[in-house]
Amino acid sequence: MKFTNKILPFYLVFGASLFLFSCKDEVQNQVISITSSESIKTDSKVQYKEPFRPQFHFSPEKKWMNDPNGMVFYKGIYHLFYQYYPDDIVWGPMHWGHATSRDLIHWTHKKIALFPDKLGMIFSGSAVVDIDNTSGLGTKENPTMIAVFTYHDMKGEKAGTTNYQTQGLAYSLDEGETWMKYDGNPIVKNSGMKDFRDPKVFWNTDTNLWNMVLVAGDHAQFYTSENLINWKFESEFGKNIGAHGGVWECPDIFKLKIAGSHEEKWVLLISINPGAPNGGSGTQYFIGDFDGGSFKTTQKDIKWIDNGADNYAGVTYNNAPDNRRIFIGWMSNWSYARDTPTKNWRSAMTLPRELSLAKINGDYVLKNTPVEQFKKQGTNAFTKDEIILKANQKTTFDYQYLNQSAVQLNAKNENLKFVFSNEVKDSLVLNYDAKGKTFSVDRRHSGMVNFEKSFGEKIHNTKIPNITTETIDYQIIVDWSSIEIFLNGGVYSFTEQIFPNKPYTKLSIQSNENQEIKNLTISKVKGIW
C-alpha cells in the first residue's frame, strides 16, 4: 500500500505544548479535553517527521534494520549495533550498523561498523570489552572492544552445503569507532549444521572464563574460552524442551537475583521464528541454573518475555552499570517485516527495558519495564486522581498528542477496555477480561492493516494468570507506529506495531462493570531527534 500526500501533514502536528484542561463531568459519559495553547512547531530534521517514523524509539536514519547486536556499555557509552542493509528497505546482505547513547534514550548514529567480506555476510552476535587483554589483541592500558558474530556464506548456502554459517571475530582499538577483522577467522567452525549462529559472549565471574552461547537449529550450545579466540564446546540444551515451532535464534544468558530474596537464578533467552503465541516471531525464556558449562532447568511450561506480536531477537547489555540487566528487542515480526508501509527506512527497536525476576504463586516470572531514564521524556502531564466508572459508563479523552504519549493508571482488578481512535474511525482496542484472566490487543481496525494478511487478521489474546493483585497498574506507551503495554510493572508486556491513517486523538476508557481508576496520568513524550 502506498502513501498519499494527504497523510503526511497529520504526522507533522507533534510539538511542544502548554496544556489547558477543560473537563465536563457527566453522570454516564465523562468527556475530558486536553488542548494546547501553543502554536504547532515542526522539526528541522524532516526525515524524522516521515509518516510512522518513531519519535522516541531508535530507528535507522534510512534503509533496513533488524536484530540488535553487540550491545555493550563502556566508559559511559551504551553501544548499539544492529543488523543493517544500507542499500534498500528490505533485507539484504547484512552489515552491522552502529549507534551510541549516554542515557539509552537519545541516540547518535555512527558509521557502519562491520561489512561483509569473503567469508560471508555479518549476521547477529555480541560485543565485549577485553579489560585484561586475554585475547592479546590490545593492551591493558588500551583494552580492545571485541565483536563475535556469525558469518553467513550465501554462496555456500546456494551450493547446498550445510556448514555455511561460522563464527567470526572483529576488534576495535578506538572504543568502537573503527573495526578490524581477526586474521584467523572463523574462530568457531561448523561441523555441518544448517543453522549455527548468533553467539552471545560474556565474562563469567563465577568461573573466570569467557562463555559463549549460540544456537544450532533446534537447541542451544555452550562454549568456554580463556582468550575469546580458542573455544571449547561444553554442552547443549533444549532439544526436547520449550517452544519448537520454528528455528531457534539470538540466545542470551545472564544471572538475576529474585526480588525480595537472596536467591539467584540464571535466565536463558531464546528467540524463535515462527512459533510465537500470536504468530510469527517471539522470544521465550527459561529459568534455571548454569555452572559455566551446562544449563539445567525444571521448567515445564513455555514462557514468553513479551506477548505482543512485535518484540523479537532481543538481547541484553554486557557491562551495564550497577549490574542492571537492560534489554532491547527488534520491534517487528518476520511475518510482515518486509511489508510494513514505510518509505525510506524500515523497523525500529523497542524501548530499552530493565529485566528483573520475581516469584509469583511459587513460579519464576521475568519482568520487563522501560528503563528509569524514560520517565524524563514525559512532559506537561495531565493528571486525575480518581475516576469512578459505573457499569457501561465511558470516559473519553480528546488529546491531539495521543500518538506520542504515555498513559498510566491504577484500576480495580475488574474488566477494563481502552479504545484509541481518530476522526477517520481507525480504532485500536485493548481489553482486560478479569474473569477469563486474559488481555487482548485488537489492531484489526487500527489503520493500515492490509499490507500483509496476518498483520490485521485476528485479535491477539493472552492468558495472564500471574495478575493476582486486587488492583492493576497499567502503563501504555504510544509512538507514531507502535504501542507498548506493561501490566503490574512488567509482569506481562505487549508490543505491537500500528499504522493509523491519521494520529489517534481520542482515548476511551470503559467497563461493563463498576470500575475505579486512580492516579491517571497522560503525558506527551518528547521526541529524541
Q: What is the pLDDT of residue 10?
A: 39
| pTM, two decimal places | 0.93
Interval 313-344: pLDDT, tens: 999 999 999 999 999 999 999 999 999 999 99
Q: How many other C-beta atoms can be found within 10 angstroms of the C-beta atom of residue 406? A: 23
C-beta of residue 282 within 8 angstroms of C-beta of residue 272: yes
Residues 159 and 81 in one domain: yes
**Is 1 inside a domain boundary?**
no
Amino acid at 82: Y
Residue 2 lies in a domain: no
Residues 264 and 413 occupy one common structural domain: no
Largest CA distance in the chain: 75
Alpha helices in 347-457, H assignment, sequence order: none
The confidence score (pLDDT) of residue 17 equals 37
Same domain, 182 and 262: yes
Residues 58 and 206 in one domain: yes
Residue 104 domain flag: yes
Q: Is the pLDDT of residue 21 over 60?
A: no
Contact (Cβ atoms closer than 8 angstroms) between residue 449 and residue 499:
yes
Q: 479-516: per-residue pLDDT in tens?
A: 999 999 999 999 999 999 999 999 999 999 999 999 99
Q: Are residues 361 and 497 in the same domain?
A: no
pLDDT in tens, 190-247: 999 999 999 999 999 999 999 999 999 999 999 999 999 999 999 999 999 999 999 9
Separation in Å, CA 348 to CA 59, 340, 526: 4, 11, 17
Residue type, 281: S
Distance between CA atoms of residues 473 and 475, nearest Å: 7
- Helix, strand, or coil (residue 324): coil
Q: Which of 370, 389, 404 is the last residue of a domain?
A: 370
Could you list the beta-strand ranges (E) of 305-459.
Answer: 312-316, 326-330, 345-346, 353-360, 363-370, 378-389, 394-399, 405-412, 416-421, 427-433, 438-445
Whether 60 and 125 share a structural domain = yes
Q: Do 297 and 443 have their domain in common?
A: no
Q: Considering the domain boundaries, does residue 130 fall inside one?
A: yes
Contact 451, 1 (CB under 8 A): yes
**What is the pLDDT confidence band of residue 31, given thresholds at 50, 70 and 90?**
confident
**Mean pLDDT over residues 160-185, rounded?**
97
Which pLDDT does position 372 carry in this prediction? 97
Closest CA to 242 of 152, 302, 196: 302
Cα–Cα distance between 324 and 419 in angstroms, integer? 34
For residue 3, being part of any structural domain is answered with: no
pLDDT band at 45, cuts 50/70/90? Answer: low
User: Is residue 474 pLDDT above 70, yes or no?
Assistant: yes
Q: What is the pLDDT of residues 433-461, one digit of tens each?
A: 999 999 999 999 999 999 999 999 999 99
CATH number at residue 399: 2.60.120.560
Q: CA 156, CA 401: separation in Å to the nearest integer? A: 50
Q: How many domains does the chain have?
A: 2
Determine the Cα–Cα distance for residues 303 and 492; give it in Å rounded to an integer.
11
pLDDT at residue 442, rounded to an integer: 98
pLDDT of residue 155: 94
Paired sense of beta strands 394-399 and 378-389, if any:
unpaired
**Rounded CA separation 313/215 (Å):** 12
Which cell goes with 320? Answer: 551495564
- pLDDT one-digit tens code per residue, 134-164: 999 999 999 999 999 999 999 999 999 999 9
Q: What percent of the chain has pLDDT over 70?
A: 92
Q: Which of 329, 354, 370 is the last residue of a domain?
A: 370
Same domain, 479 and 465: yes
- At 213-228, the pLDDT tens digits run 999 999 999 999 999 9
CATH code where residue 216 lies: 2.115.10.20
Which of 320, 340, 370 delimits the end of a domain? Answer: 370
Mean pLDDT estimate for the chain = 93
**Residue 495 and residue 457 in one domain:** yes
The yes-or-no answer on residue 433 being catalytic is: no
Q: Please report whether residue 417 resides in a domain.
A: yes
Per-residue burial over 129-146, b = 16 or more CB atoms within 10 Å of its CB, e = otherwise: bbeeebbebbeeeebbbb
Host domain of residue 203: 47-370
Considering Cα of 489, then 494, then 495, then 500, what sign does the dihedral take? Answer: negative
Task: Select from 129, 177, 179, 119 the least CA-distant residue to 150.
Answer: 119
Q: How far apart are CA 279 and CA 411, in angstroms?
A: 30
Q: What is the pLDDT of residue 30?
A: 77
Q: What is the pLDDT of residues 363-387, one digit of tens each?
A: 999 999 999 999 999 998 899 999 9
| Residue 32 clears pLDDT 90, i.e. is over it | no
Query: Are 403 and 469 members of one domain?
Result: yes
Instruction: Give mean pLDDT, residues 27-41.
Output: 60
Residues 366 and 483 in one domain: no
Burial of 517 (0-12, 13-18, 19+ CB in 10 A): buried
**468 lies in a domain?**
yes
312-316 vs 345-346, strand pairing mode:
unpaired
First to last CA, the chain: 27
> Which member of 67, 130, 153, 442 is catalytic?
67
pLDDT at 34: 82
Residues 487 and 340 in one domain: no
Is 195 part of any domain?
Answer: yes
Q: What is the pLDDT of residue 59?
A: 98
- Contact call for residues 522 and 509 (beta carbons, < 8 A): no
